[in-house]
Chain A
Amino acid sequence: ETGVTQTPRHLVMGMTNKKSLKCEQHLGHNAMYWYKQSAKKPLELMFVYNFKEQTENNSVPSRFSPECPNSSHLFLHLHTLQPEDSALYLCASSQEAQRGYNEQFFGPGTRLTVL
């Protein structure tokens, strides 16, 4: 595997379910990110982890819970979601999060549908 991978690619869940999204980067980076991409809205940065420490939580509801066990893996745990949470969830990584000039490398995303 190369680059940034995400599983599953598609997920359909009910509002009472609990599921997790997984992201893995094979680039030796130290920062990882979760984004939400909804139609007709800019990408919304949800969480940032730098050297396994969470450095940003952009007012994300507690029904989204991130976990970063090491610099290569990032999870997004989901529970009691709402239909408006349906979106494409993108994971990204970069060399580190404190340098503005570091580009981010994106995974293909997980298309989430909440019924």
Chain B
Amino acid sequence: AQSVTQLDSHVSVSEGTPVLLRCNYSSSYSPSLFWYVQHPNKGLQLLLKYTSAATLVKGINGFEAEFKKSETSFHLTKPSAHMSDAAEYFCVVTAASGGYQKVTFGIGTKLQVIP
């Protein structure tokens, strides 16, 4: 079984303050984990991914995430929010099983950045 829980459907931060978007997962296999961002009327863009190498993963635009196996978490952070960060963020878990890739998306977190 595999699932992803994004703990907040909406997060609001002031420009220049830290961002924390939370994601918990469960997987029966050795998962890979991803964060994608979607700006309005656009497709999804990869921010970063964890694939069993370093547990602290750095991505584009100053985002990073830490894989914590004991807590089954993969929270996304950024030290200082920018107006352009306002978008929807998706946590994704994938695992290969029986020759097929199982992909599970979280429901998404909408990030609002207040000037």
Which of A45, A98, A107 touches B103 (beta carbons < 8 Å)? A45
Interface flags for A66-105 (1: CB within 8 Å of B; 0: not) read: 0000000000000000000000001010000111111111
Provide the bound-state CA to CA distance between A100 and B92, in Å: 11
Residues of B within 8 A of A111 (CB): 41
Which of B29, B51, B108 touches A42 (beta carbons < 8 Å)? B108
Residues of A within 8 A of B4 (CB): 42
Residues of B within 8 A of A11 (CB): none
A4 and B108 in contact, given A97-B100, A98-B96 (Cβ under 8 angstroms): no
Q: Is B101 on the interface with A (CB-CB < 8 A)?
A: yes
Interface flags for A31-63 (1: CB within 8 Å of B; 0: not) read: 000000000111101001000000110000000
Residues of B92-115 at the interface with A, using a CB-CB cut-off of 8 Å, are 94-96, 99-108
Nearest residue, chain A, Cβ from B95: A100
* A98 engages B90 (CB within 8 Å): no
* B32 engages A98 (CB within 8 Å): no
Taking residues whose C-beta sits less than 8 angstroms from the other chain, chain B's interface range is 20 to 34
Which of A40, A100, A106 touches B94 (beta carbons < 8 Å)? A100
Shortest B29–chain A CB gap in Å is 8
Q: Is B78 on the interface with A (CB-CB < 8 A)?
A: no
Nearest residue, chain B, Cβ from A9: B41
Provide the bound-state CA to CA distance between A111 and B43, in Å: 11
Residues of B within 8 A of A105 (CB): 46
Residues of A within 8 A of B90 (CB): 43
* A100 engages B106 (CB within 8 Å): no
Shortest B97–chain A CB gap in Å is 8
Provide the bound-state CA to CA distance between A6 and B46, in Å: 18
Q: 9 closest Cβ contacts across the A-B interface?
A: A106-B43, A101-B51, A100-B96, A43-B105, A106-B44, A100-B94, A101-B32, A108-B43, A42-B105
21 A–B pairs (Cβ distance < 8 Å), ordered by A: A40-B107, A41-B107, A42-B4, A42-B107, A90-B43, A98-B99, A98-B101, A100-B29, A100-B30, A100-B31, A100-B32, A100-B94, A100-B102, A101-B52, A102-B101, A103-B34, A103-B49, A104-B46, A106-B36, A106-B43, A109-B41
